[in-house]
Structure 1
Amino acid sequence: MEKVLEVIDLHVSFKTYGGEVKAVRGVTFDLYKGETLAIVGESGCGKSVTSQSIMRLIPNPPGRITNGSILFKGKDLTKLKETQMRSIRGADISMIFQDPMTALNPTITIGEQLVEGILQHKSISRQEAKKVAFEMLDLVGIPNPHERFKHHPHQFSGGMRQRIVIAMALVCKPEVLIADEPTTALDVTIQAQILDLFKDIQKKTGVSIILITHDLGVVAQVADRIAVMYAGKIVEAGSRREIFYQPQHPYTKGLLNSVPRLDLEGAELVPIAGTPPDLFSPPAGCPFTARCSYAMEVCDRAYPFKTHLSQDHHVDCWLQDERAMNRLTSVK
C-alpha cells in the first residue's frame, strides 16, 4: 500500500510557568492511502497535540516541535515556512475540530465559508466555487443545498453543523483528513449517521483518515488500524482485529475492560485505577507502571523495547520479554 504520511519520532513540548510539559514523546506511525487510522487513549495522552502538530497548528510559544519528522509527499512539514504550510492546509491535509459550533463563524453564512476555502486554494471563478460547494453539501447529506447555502450556522442542528464542518474539510479534495473527536458532542443516533458518512465519503473519494478519539465504540466501526496512546507515547498498535481480540499491553486491556458490555448480563465496568503520570517529569520507564497490576522492577527503571508481533501489531511492554513470560507461566 502507498504511504501518504509518515510521522517519525515526534516530540512536542510546552513551556509553562511550572516547567516544560513533554506532551508527545517519540510518536511514530504511518498512514496509508484510503485507510482509517484511529489514535485512541484517555484525555491528556497527547492525541490532539499529535494531530495539531501534523497541521502545524501548535502555537509557538508556548508549544514547539522539539524533534522528529512529519513527511508528506516527500516534504518534511516540520521544516516548512508558514506560507508553505498555508498552501497545504485545507488543500492536501484537512482537519475536523471537536466542536462544530466553534469551528464555524456564526456571523457568516455556511455558503460563504465554503466558498472562501475553495477560492483560497483553487484558481476558479466564484460561480464555479459555488457549484463545487453545492456538490459537497449534497455529498455530506445536507438537504436542499441551494437554499441551505444561504443559512447561518445557528440555523442548523448539531448533526447538520458537523456535516457542514466535514464538507468544509473535504471541499478541496485533500489526501489526508484528520478528525479530532468528531462525534463527541453528538447523541448516539447522530454519531452513527456521521460514522456512516465517513465510510461513504472514504469509499467515494479515497481519502485517508486519522481519527482521534477515546470512544472504542467509534473505533470498532470505522478503523482499519488502531494506535493506543498513553502519556505521550504509542504503547501498542495493530489492526482493528488484533487490538480488540489480541490486546497485549495492560493499558489496552484496561481500556477494553472499561467499555460497557450490553451483550453480557450482569457485566460490570472495570475502571483503570490510579492517574496518568506527571508529564512535567515523565518516568524513565514504562509510564503505565504505577497503574499496572503486572508491573515488575524493570518496568520502573527502563522503557521497554518495541516487540513486533505481526506486520502491523507491535507493543512496548516488558511482559513480552521471554524472561517475564517464563515468570508468568511459572506463577500459573
Structure 2
Amino acid sequence: MTEMTEKILEVKDLHISFETYAGEVKAVRGVNFDLYKGETLAIVGESGSGKSVTSKSIMKLIPTPPGKYKNGEILFDGKDIAKLSEKQMQGIRGSDISMIFQDPMTSLNPTMKVGNQIMEGIIKHQKVSRAAAKERALELLRLVGIPQPEVRLEQYPHQFSGGMRQRVVIAIALACNPKILIADEPTTALDVTIQAQILELMKDLQKKTDTSIIFITHDLGVVANMADRVAVMYGGKIVEIGKAEEIFYNPQHPYTWGLLSSMPSLESGDSDLYAIPGSPPDLLNPPKGDAFAARNEFAMQIDLEQEPPMFKVSDTHYAATWLLHPDAPKVEPPATVQRMKESRSIGAGKSSVGVKEGAKNE
C-alpha cells in the first residue's frame, strides 16, 4: 500500500456565490480538500449541498455572471485555476481535466457521428492526424467495452442505449489521458444494473490509466466500493472527510449518520428506511451556527450560535461537529449506523455495502 504523497489538486478556502434577483446565494462556503494521484475522492451530499458547483468550479464551468469566485484557490500544476482566463482553461479542459456529466444524451451532439465526437478532442489537444485520431477512438471504444467499434464509430448517439451512450461519454473524457476525471452523478440517469456496470468500468479504467477521480453523488451506497476517500458536503461546506472505511464504519457527523441510515440494505424492510427530517438551509441567508442544526436531533445550544471547527478524529479523518468537543455529551449514533459498525467488527471488514478495503492510498 502506497502513501498518499503526490498531490495533484488543492482546493483552499473556496467560496462561490451567485447573484440572483433575490440576492446573493452563497453556494460554496469555504471548501478545502486535496486530491492525490490515482485516488478516487467521492463528494457526497443532498441536492443543494454545493457538490456540483464545487466540481464545476475546478473546470471553471461556473458562468460569471451570475457566478462569482469570491475567495480561495484551486491549485493544479502550480497554477490557480480560479485566476486563469477562458483561453488558458481551454488548454486544460478535456486535456488535463475531463468531466463526465449526469445525462449522456445532453453531453453528446445528436447531429454528429460518435467517432467524430471522440476524435474532435484528440485532434485539438494532441495535434495528431485524422487517421491516428480514428485509431485512438477505436481503441477507446474497445476500452470502454463497446462491441463492434468499427461499426459504432459511424453511428449517431440515438442509435445507442443509455448505458452505451454513457460509455461513449467516458471514452470522450478519457481521450486525452487526463490527470483528473470529474464524474458528476454519472450513473443517476441509468438503471441499477447498468449503473453497476459503469461503476465497475470506471474502477477498471482507473487501474489501467492511474487517473485521479472526483466522484460527485447524492448516494453514499454508489461509492461504497469505489472511493478511497469520502467528503460529505452540507450547506456549501465539507462537514466530514476521511477514508471510505472511516466514513462508513466510524462516521462522526450527525448528517453522515442520516445519509448512512437512509441507504437501503438487504436487511432493511420498508419500515426501516430513514429520511432526514426537514430540508437543506437557504443559502441566501445561511444559518449563523452549524448549518445542520435545524435538522439535527442531537443539536445543542452552541450549534445555533457558533459554527463548529473541523475536529481531528484521526490523521485522515476530520468532522465539523460540536459533538466531538471534549465537553460535549456522549451520544450514540442511530441503530442503522451502529449495525454497520458491528458488521465491521464481526465480519472483519465485510459489510452489506461492500466498502472498498485496503485502498491504494492508505
Q: CA deviation at 1:20?
A: 0.5
Amino acid at match of 1:122: Q
Question: Match of 1:101?
Answer: 105
Question: Match of 1:253?
Answer: 257
Question: Match of 1:288?
Answer: 292
Find out whether 1:38 has 2:42 as its counterpart.
yes
Q: Deviations over 1:147-171 (max 9, x none)?
A: 1100000000000000000000000
Amino acid at match of 2:47: S
CA distance in 1, matches of 2:253, 2:277: 15
CA distance in 2, matches of 1:187, 1:265: 21
Question: Match of 2:147?
Answer: 143
- Give the percent of matched residue pairs that are identical in Structure 1 and Structure 2: 64
For the Cα contact (< 8 Å) 1:225–1:237, is it kept in 2? yes
CA distance in 2, matches of 1:122, 1:299: 52
For the Cα contact (< 8 Å) 1:26–1:233, is it kept in 2? yes
For the Cα contact (< 8 Å) 1:261–1:267, is it kept in 2? no
- Equivalent residue for 2:86, pick from 82, 87, 90: 82
Question: Match of 1:186?
Answer: 190
Question: Match of 1:220?
Answer: 224
CA distance in 1, matches of 2:69, 2:289: 22
Size of the aligned set, in residue pairs, is 328
Question: Match of 1:50?
Answer: 54
CA distance in 2, matches of 1:271, 1:212: 20
Q: Residue 171 of structure 2: SS of its match in structure 1?
A: helix
Match runs of 1:1-332 below 5 Å? 1-264=5-268, 268-325=272-329
Q: Residue 41 of structure 2: SS of its match in structure 1?
A: strand
Q: Residue 251 of structure 1: SS of its match in structure 2?
A: helix
Q: Residue 288 of structure 2: SS of its match in structure 1?
A: coil
Q: Deviations over 1:13-37 (max 9, x none)?
A: 0000000000000010010110100
CA distance in 2, matches of 1:284, 1:215: 27
Where do 4+ consecutive residues of structure 1 move more than 6 Å? none
Gapped regions of structure 1 (runs ≥ 5): none
Q: Residue 279 of structure 2: SS of its match in structure 1?
A: coil
Q: Residue 221 of structure 1: SS of its match in structure 2?
A: coil
Q: CA deviation at 1:325?
A: 3.5
CA distance in 1, matches of 2:204, 2:133: 23
TM-score scaled by length of structure 2:
0.89
CA RMSD, aligned part only? 1.2
Amino acid at match of 1:134: L
Amino acid at match of 1:316: A
CA distance in 2, matches of 1:182, 1:221: 16
Gapped regions of structure 2 (runs ≥ 5): 333-362
